[in-house]
Amino acid sequence: MRLTIANRNKHRAMSFAKTLTVQNVRNGLGIIAKRKFAAGATICRIKGEVVTGEAVWSYWDTDSRRGKNCFRYDADHYLDPDGEIGAFANHSCNPNAGIVKTGRRLMLRAIRLIAAGEEITHDYSTLLGADDVWKMKCNCGETACRKLVRNFGKLPASVLRRYRRLGIIPDYIIETGR
Site string for Zn ion, 145-174 (x = CB under 5 A): x-----------------------------
As a whole number of angstroms, the distance between CA 97 and CA 114 comes to 9
Q: In angstroms, what is the minimal distance from the CB of 172 to ligand SAM?
A: 20
Rounded alpha-carbon distances, angstroms, from residue 102 to 11, 107, 162: 27, 7, 20
Q: Please compute, for residue 23, the number of CA atoms within 13 A of its CA located in the half-sphere on the CB side.
A: 12
From the list ligand SAM, Zn ion, none, partner contacted by residue 145 (C-beta under 5 to 8 A by kind): Zn ion
**In this chain, which stretch among 59-67, 122-130, 135-143, 159-167 interacts with Zn ion, using CB under 5 A?**
135-143
- Per partner kind, with CB cut-offs from 5 to 8 A, the member of ligand SAM, Zn ion, none near residue 31 is none
How many whole angstroms separate alpha carbon 5 and alpha carbon 130? 32
The contact set with ligand SAM (CB under 6 A) reads 27-30, 68-69, 87-92, 136, 138-140
Question: First vs last Cα of the chain: how many Å apart?
Answer: 46
User: Within 13 Å and on the Cβ side, how many CA atoms surround 35?
Assistant: 9
Cβ 49 to Zn ion, closest distance in Å?
28
Give me the least distance between CB of 118 and Zn ion, in Å please.
16
